[in-house]
Amino acid sequence: MLLSVLRSSVEISALLFGWTTKLHSRMSSSCPPRAALCQMNVTADKRANLRAAQELLEEAKRRGANMAFLPEAFDYIGSSREETLALSETLLGDTMMQYALMARKLDIWLSLGGFHERGCDLEAESRICNSHVIVNNQGEIVSTYRKCHLFDVELPEKGVSLSESAYTIPGPSLVPPVQTPIGKLGLGVCYDLRFPEFSLALQKSGAEILTFPSAFTEVTGAAHWEVLLRARAIENQCYVLAAAQVGRHHDRRSSYGHSLAVDPWGVVTADCGGERAGVALVEVDLDQIHSVRRNMPLQKHRRDAAFYASLEGKSQT
């Protein structure tokens, strides 16, 4: 009798434990995934930049991030064309190996935006690629996008003069959105943000999140950064995540900061500020994307490509 009672108690306890475990699992799986925006202030010192990034990534993991986003030029910012080229590496080099190890150790996905990627013909071409690399939590590269739009801008009245094409090869094409733990990610880099057709193409290919790792200048950042990010979020009904550089990098270059996360309604949900490096966490609610798109079906209302091209070649006299 006693043995039967004990057996029944054990069975009931096991059932209760199993039910509780399943409930906890369901509750855990229903929690929105978290993205971490890591704002950096890099220099030409690659080792120091790596240490700074590691601290930010460890903080992101402690705070429950499933995926962390680093800014354009997370590896370094050179003070000259010659230094920029000399410090570049291939995707198989030490820098990417170190980040792959961190991703595996921390069990976290990484968006490494704006890696100075050395090509096989560097000596002949004397230019590199500005590459956005996605690394999974096993340390594997799952996608690489080479920046298509290069920042060649002269604003003499505002003190801005940059010619990215002097040391960078424009990427050949967009890459398909990649599935990540926080959603389907469309990859861009910095100046790509200014071209709405770029984001629309990614959204039409299934992107739920657009990401633009950046190093906006202080002048262009103050004028355009937030409004551009919010516009891309609103018109594409996507999350937009943009990790950014901040502060002075060398005597002739400084960045605006304000790493931002924007939701599909255009609300800024995270901002790292414009003063220092740091981490901002944001929950990505994929249901909100579907809700916004269902309630305001822009894609259904959009006319075909021929309609928008109907003015080409026409002009008023």
What angle, rounded to 10 degrees, do the helices at 94-106 and 46-62 form?
20
Q: How much helix, strand and coil, in percent to the nearest 5, is found in the chain?
A: 40, 25, 35
Q: Known catalytic residue: 147?
A: yes
The residue from 89, 117, 129, 190 that is catalytic is 190
- Report the pLDDT value the prediction gives residue 317, as an integer from 0 to 100: 57
The residue from 72, 89, 117, 218 that is catalytic is 72
- Report the pLDDT value the prediction gives residue 121, as an integer from 0 to 100: 62
The residue from 89, 117, 129, 147 that is catalytic is 147
CA torsion through residues 264, 268, 270, 273, sign: positive
Region 33-301: CATH code:
3.60.110.10
CA torsion through residues 248, 57, 97, 109, sign: negative
**Extents of the domains making up the chain:** 33-301
Q: What percentage of the chain carries pLDDT values higher than 70?
A: 88
Q: Known catalytic residue: 190?
A: yes
**pLDDT tens, residue by residue, 55-96:** 999 999 999 999 999 999 999 999 999 999 999 999 999 999
Which SS3 state, helix, strand or coil, does residue 245 take? strand
- Report the pLDDT value the prediction gives residue 158, as an integer from 0 to 100: 78
Which of the two residues, 133 and 305, has the higher pLDDT score?
133
- Report the pLDDT value the prediction gives residue 31, as an integer from 0 to 100: 83
Q: Are 37 and 243 in contact (CB under 8 A)?
A: yes
Instruction: Read off φ and ψ for residue 126, nearest 5 degrees.
Output: 55, 30
**pLDDT tens, residue by residue, 9-54:** 434 343 433 444 443 434 345 688 999 999 999 999 999 999 999 9
Two structure tokens written together for 50? 């790596």
Distance separating the N- and C-terminal Cα atoms of the chain:
102
Full DSSP string of 5-64? HHHHHHHHHHHHHHHHHHHHHHHHHHSPPEEEEEEB---S-HHHHHHHHHHHHHHHHHTT
Full DSSP string of 256-271? E---EEE-TTS-EEEE
Dist CA 209 CA 153 (whole Å): 28
- Report the pLDDT value the prediction gives residue 22, as an integer from 0 to 100: 41
Return the amino acid letter for 231.
A
CA atoms within 13 A on the CB side of 10: 6
